Amino acid sequence: MESTIIKSRNFNASFGVNHVVKNVNIEIPRNHVIAVMGPSGCGKTTYLRCINRMHELIPGASCSGEMTINNENIYEMHPIFVRLKIGMVFQRPNPFPNLSIYDNVIAGYKLNGIKLPRAERDRIVEHSLTRVALWKEVKDSLNKKGSFLSGGQQQRLCIARAVAMEPEVLLFDEPTSALDPISTSTVEELFHELKANYTLIIVTHNMQQAARCSDKTAFFYMGELVEYDETTTMFTNPKDNRTQNYITGRFS
Amino acid sequence: MDTPFAPTSTAAAPAPAGILHPGPASAHLAARAAARIRRSFRQIRTENVFRNALVITGLLLVVLVLGIFLTLVVQSLPSIRLLGLKFLWGKTWNPVKNVYGAFPFLVGTLLSSFLALLISIPFSMAVAVFLGEYQPNGWFSNLLKNAVELIAAVPSVIYGFWALAVLVPLVRRFETRIGVEQPLGVGVFSASLILAVMIIPYAASLGRSMIRMVPSPLKEAAYGLGATRWEVIRSVVLPYTRSGLFAGILLSLGRALGETMAVTMVIGNTSILPKNIFAPGNTMASVIANEFTEADKTVYLSALIELGLALFLVTVVINMIGKKIIDRFTNE
Amino acid sequence: MNNNHVKYRIGKSRGFQVLTIVLAFACVIPLIAILLFIIREGISRINWHFLVNIPKPVGEVGGGIANALLGSVIMIVMASVMAIPVGIMGGIYLSENKKSRLAYWCRLSVDILQGVPSIVIGIIAYFWLVRPLGSFSAFSGSVALAIMMLPIIVRSTEETLKMLPDSLKEAAFALGMPIHRVIFKVVVPVGISGILSGVMLSVARITGETAPLLFTAFGNPYLSGDPSKPMHSLPLMIFNYATSPYKDWHDLAWGASLVLLLWVLFLNIFTKLITRKWKVQL
C-alpha cells in the first residue's frame, strides 16, 4: 500500500467571492496523526470540510483543484462514497438525540440503508465502543438515550459512530474545544490508539494539542498552507517567519 | 418600573441666594419649583390611572371569554335538561316533531374535517419541507410562502361560492362516473375538498417554522455518515419535528371543525345521517348557520346552542393541545 | 454496499425532492383558479352603476351592491373603534406583566378566543345584544366583529413589544418619564410596524367574515347607515345571493366577490409593504 493516503494539488475553496483556501498542496501519510492549526479564519476548517465534501453543502460554496484519496479523485466520486471512506467528528458532540447509544453507533448503517443481522450489529457496536474506550462505561446502558453522558463521553460516542463505518480517514473539526480539560485528555488519548487503524486529520486552534498529539503539523495562515513538517521540527525549528510568530504567540 | 420622583432639575439647581432672602427673582423660582412638583404629582396620578386601565383591560378579556362560555351553557340548559346525553347519539333531527338528535351533525363534522385533513396533509407537509429544508431563501420560495399565506386570506364565502360554481359540478360528474346513487355534487366530499384547500396554510406555516429549528449539527452528522438529502430529512428532520408537525396538523383540524360558510354552501344541508362521503349532510356549524333564525321554539334554539357549545369546547381543546405542544417544543 | 444501491438511494432522494416541489406548488393551483375565475366572472359586472346602486328586486335588470359596501365600511369602522384600543391596551398589559396571575389567565383567554369559531361569536352577540335590544342591528354585528379582532391585535401587540429591548424603556425611565409616556411616546413608536400589521391583519380578517353577521347584522336590502338597524355587508350579500336560485343575483354575487377579493388582497399587500417600510432596525 502506498504511504500517502490523501493528496491535494493546487486546491482552492471559496464562499461565493470569498477565496478562503488558496492553492494548497499537501500529502498526508497513512496511519499518521496530522494536526492542522492556524489563527481563526485561516481556512483550516474549510479545507478540512473539503476533504469529505461537506463544504459544498453550503449554498454558494465552491472549490477547485485536485483532491485524491488513494489516488482516486474525491471530486469525481459520489459524495456518499467519499463520506464512507472519510468520517468526520464535529466541534460540538452531536449524537442523535432520539436514538439510543446502541442505535447511535450503528446510525451510519441505518442511514445508508444497509441491513445487518443482529449479531453483526452487536459486534460492530461493541467493537466501535471499545475502540473509543467507552464500552465498559456504557455496555449496560446501550438502550438508553445518550443524554446522561458527559461531554467527553458524548464526543467519544460520536467518534465511535464514525469509526463504526470502518473509514480509512477520520477528520476532526476542533473536537475538544467544547469539552472540559479532563474530557479533552480522554479524547486526546484516543488519537494515539486510533492511528493504528485510521489516518487522523485534526483541526485545532490549540497549539499545545497539536504539539502533544500529532506526528506532522500543517500551519495555515490567511488561506495558505504556510508550513507542513514533522511536529517536533515545526515547534522547535520552524522554517517560516509566520509559523514562528504564531508559535510564539505574536498573533492568534 | 418605578418612576423616579421629581425631575432632577429642582435638586440640581444650586440654592440661589434669593431663596433665603425673599425678593422678586426668588419668588419666580419658587413658583417654578412648585409647578414642577404639582406636575409630578399629576403625572403620578395619571400613571396610576394608566396602570389601572391596563389591569381592567386584562380583566375584561378574561371576563369576555368566561361570558362566552357561560352564555353558551346557560342557553343550552333547556335542551340539556330535556334531552340529556341522548342528544349526542340521537340519529334524528326533526324540529317539526320536536326531535333533536345531534349525531348526524357530529358525523358530518368529523367526516368532513378528517377527510379534509387527510387530503391536505401531503400538500401542507410538502410546503413545510420545501420552505423549511430545501429552499428556505430565495425569491422563488418567497413567492410560494406569500401565495400560501394568501390562501388563508381569501374569505370563506368566496371559497364557498367558487366551490358551488366550479367544484360541485366537477364532483357531480365524478360521482356519475363512479356510479354514485344520487350524484348531487353537493355533499360531504365537496365540503372536504374545499376545506382541504382552506386549511393547508395552517399546518404548512407552523411546520415550516418547526423544520427550520432543526439544529444544523444534527443534519451535518447525518450527511457526514453518508446520507442522501432525503435520508437526512426522513431520519433527522422529521423525527426531530414530529411533535411540532403534529401541533400544526391539530391547528388545521381546529380550523376545519369551526369553518362555517364554505361548508354550508356545498354540503347539501340535509339533517339526515350521511350514508357515505358522497351524500349530503350538515356539520354542527352549518346547521346552526342555516336554522338559527328559523328556530321558533325554545328547545329548538337551545338544541342549536348546545351544538354551538360542543363546537366551542372541541375547538378550544384542540387548539389548546396544539399550543401546549408548540410551547414545549420551542422551550426545550 | 455497491454502486447500484447508492444510485438507487440517490435516485430516491432526487425523486422525493421532485415530489415535494410538485406537491408544494400544486397548493397554489386552486388559489390561482379561484382568482382567475372570480376575475373573469366579476369583471364584466363591475361598473360605477354597480357600485352606487342597491340591488333591484328579482327580475329587474341592474342593481348593485351599494348597501353592502356601505354596510361593510360602517361595521368595520365601528368594530375597529371598539377593538383597536382595547386590543392594544391588552397587548401592552400582557407585555408589561409577564408573571402575574391575572396575566396568565388573560393570556389563556386570548388563546381561547383565537380558536373560537366565528359562528359561535355570532351566537354570543345575538344573546348579548340582539335579544335585549329587540332587533338585529349593525351595532351587534360590529361587536361580534370586534370580538374577532381582539385576539389578533392583542397577540401581535404583545409579541411586538416583547421583542423590544428593555434598555429602551430604561433609558426613558431614567429621564424621569412616567410610564404612560414611556409606553406611548417611546415604546409604541418603535414597535409601530408590528402593532400596525396586527391591526391591519385583523381588519382584513373581519372584512371577509360572514358567520358572525348572520344573526346580528342580518342584512338589509336598502341603503342604511343606522347602526341600530339591520345592515348588509359584502360577504353577507355574497352568501345570500350565491345560495339563491336567481341568476340575476348570482351575477351580483360575482361582482361583489371580485370587489371583496380585491379589497382583501389590497389590505394584505398594503400591510406587508407598510410593515416592511416602517420597521425600525434595533
Return the pLDDT at C180. Answer: 83
Chain C residues near residue A80 by CB distance under 8 angstroms:
6, 9-10
Chains within contact range of chain C (3+ C-beta pairs < 8 Å):
A, B
**Max CA separation in chain A (angstroms):** 56
Flag whether pLDDT at C11 surpasses 70.
yes
Kindly give the pairing relationship between strand A169-173 and strand A33-37.
Answer: unpaired
Whether residue B262 contacts residue C257, with contact meaning beta carbons closer than 8 Å, is answered with: no
The predicted-structure confidence for B199-253, as pLDDT tens digits, reads as follows 999 999 999 999 999 999 999 999 999 999 999 999 999 999 998 999 999 999 9
Return the pLDDT at B20. Answer: 55
Question: Does residue C32 sit in the same domain as residue C82?
Answer: no
Question: Any chain B CB within 8 A of the CB of C136?
Answer: no
Average pLDDT, chain C: 89
% residues pLDDT > 90 (chain C): 55
pLDDT band at C26 (very low <50, low <70, confident <90, very high): very high
The angle, 0 to 180 degrees and rounded to 10, between the axes of the packed helices B139-153 and C247-278 is: 130
Average pLDDT, chain B: 87
Chain B residues near residue C176 by CB distance under 8 angstroms:
3-4, 6-8
Q: Where are the alpha helices (DSSP H) in chain A?
A: 44-51, 79-85, 101-105, 107-111, 118-131, 135-138, 151-163, 181-194, 207-213, 231-236, 241-247
Q: Look at chain B and count its residues.
A: 332
Question: Does residue C161 sit in the same domain as residue C37?
Answer: no
Neighbours of B64 (CB within 10 A): 18
Architecture of the domain delimited by B86-331: Orthogonal Bundle (1.10)
Residue span of the structural domain in which C33 resides: 3-43
The predicted-structure confidence for B73-112, as pLDDT tens digits, reads as follows 999 998 888 888 888 888 888 888 888 888 999 999 999 9
Chain A residues near residue C1 by CB distance under 8 angstroms:
84, 112, 114
Whether residue A110 contacts residue B241, with contact meaning beta carbons closer than 8 Å, is answered with: no
Neighbours of B215 (CB within 10 A): 13
Chain C residues near residue B257 by CB distance under 8 angstroms:
117
Mean pLDDT (whole number) for B103-131: 94
Flag whether pLDDT at A243 surpasses 80.
yes
Order the strands of the A199-204 sheet from edge to edge: A72-73, A61-69, A4-15, A18-29, A224-230, A216-221, A33-37, A199-204, A169-173, A86-89
Question: Does residue C63 sit in the same domain as residue C33?
Answer: no
Restricting to C residues 160-189, those with a Cβ less than 8 Å away from any Cβ of B are: 173-174, 176-180, 183
Rounded Cα–Cα distance for residues B258 and B289 (Å): 12
Neighbours of C245 (CB within 10 A): 7
Question: Does residue C14 sit in the same domain as residue C119?
Answer: no
Which cell numbers hold the place of C20? 415535494
Alpha-carbon torsion C79, C81, C87, C93, what sign? negative
Q: How far is CA A66 from its chain centroid?
A: 20
Which cell numbers hold the place of B301? 334554539
pLDDT band at C141 (very low <50, low <70, confident <90, very high): very high
Flag whether pLDDT at B123 surpasses 90.
yes
* Mutation choice for C interface testing from A72, A77, A78, A110 by most C CBs within 10 A: A78
Flag whether pLDDT at B113 surpasses 50.
yes
Restricting to C residues 6-65, those with a Cβ less than 8 Å away from any Cβ of A are: 6, 9-10
Question: Any chain C CB within 8 A of the CB of B10?
Answer: no
- B221, with CB counted inside 10 A (0-12, 13-18, 19+), is buried
Return the pLDDT at C282. Answer: 57
pLDDT band at B13 (very low <50, low <70, confident <90, very high): very low
Rounded Cα–Cα distance for residues B293 and A136 (Å): 76
* Mutation choice for A interface testing from B225, B231, B241 by most A CBs within 10 A: B225
Contact C116 B258 (CB under 8 A): yes
pLDDT band at B4 (very low <50, low <70, confident <90, very high): very low
Mean pLDDT (whole number) for C24-33: 93
Question: Which residues make Cβ contacts (< 8 Å) with residue C263, sequence separation at least 6?
Answer: C207, C234
Which cell numbers hold the place of B231? 435520508
How far does the CA of residue A197 sit from the closest CA of chain B (Å)?
18
Mean pLDDT (whole number) for B3-30: 54
Mean pLDDT (whole number) for B187-210: 94
How would DSSP label each residue in A131-183? HTT-HHHHTT-TTSBGGGS-HHHHHHHHHHHHHTT--SEEEEESTTTTS-HHH
| DSSP single-letter state for residue A117 | -
Rounded Cα–Cα distance for residues B266 and B156 (Å): 12
Restricting to C residues 139-158, those with a Cβ less than 8 Å away from any Cβ of B are: 147, 150, 154
Buried b (16+ CB within 10 A) or exposed e, A41-80: ebbbbbbbbbbbbbbebeeebebebebbbeeeebbebbbb
Chain B residues near residue A108 by CB distance under 8 angstroms:
225-226
Rounded Cα–Cα distance for residues C260 and B158 (Å): 9
Rounded Cα–Cα distance for residues C30 and C36 (Å): 10
The predicted-structure confidence for C111-139, as pLDDT tens digits, reads as follows 999 999 999 999 999 999 998 988 899 99
Whether residue A42 contacts residue A221, with contact meaning beta carbons closer than 8 Å, is answered with: yes
Question: Does residue C39 sit in the same domain as residue C52?
Answer: no
Size of interface A-B (CB pairs under 8 A): 63
> Does B2 or B302 have the greater pLDDT score?
B302
Q: Which residue has the cell 397554489?
A: C28
Q: Which residue has the cell 432526487?
A: C14
Rounded Cα–Cα distance for residues A117 and A119 (Å): 6
Mean pLDDT (whole number) for B142-157: 92
Q: Tell me the domain boundaries of chain B.
A: 9-71, 86-331
Rounded Cα–Cα distance for residues B71 and C127 (Å): 8
Return the pLDDT at C281. Answer: 60
Return the pLDDT at C75. Answer: 94
Mean pLDDT (whole number) for A73-78: 92
Question: Does residue C104 sit in the same domain as residue C177?
Answer: yes
Q: Domain A4-247 falls in which CATH fold?
A: Rossmann fold (3.40.50)
- The values of phi and psi at residue A179, to 5°, are -115, 155
Return the pLDDT at C53. Answer: 80
Contact A113 B231 (CB under 8 A): yes
Question: Any chain C CB within 8 A of the CB of B26?
Answer: no
Instruction: Please tell me the pTM assigned to this model.
Output: 0.85
Please count the structural domains in chain C: 2
Mean pLDDT (whole number) for C214-239: 89
β-bridge partners, A240: none
Question: Does residue C72 sit in the same domain as residue C25?
Answer: no
- C115, with CB counted inside 10 A (0-12, 13-18, 19+), is buried
How would DSSP label each residue in C1-57? --HHHHHHHHHHHHHHHHHHHHHHHHTHHHHHHHHHHHHHHHHTT-SHHHHHSPPPP
Chain C residues near residue A114 by CB distance under 8 angstroms:
1
Chain C residues near residue B190 by CB distance under 8 angstroms:
none
Mean pLDDT (whole number) for A202-208: 91
Mean pLDDT (whole number) for A144-170: 91
Question: Which residues make Cβ contacts (< 8 Å) with residue A78, sequence separation at least 6?
Answer: C6, C10
Flag whether pLDDT at B22 surpasses 60.
no
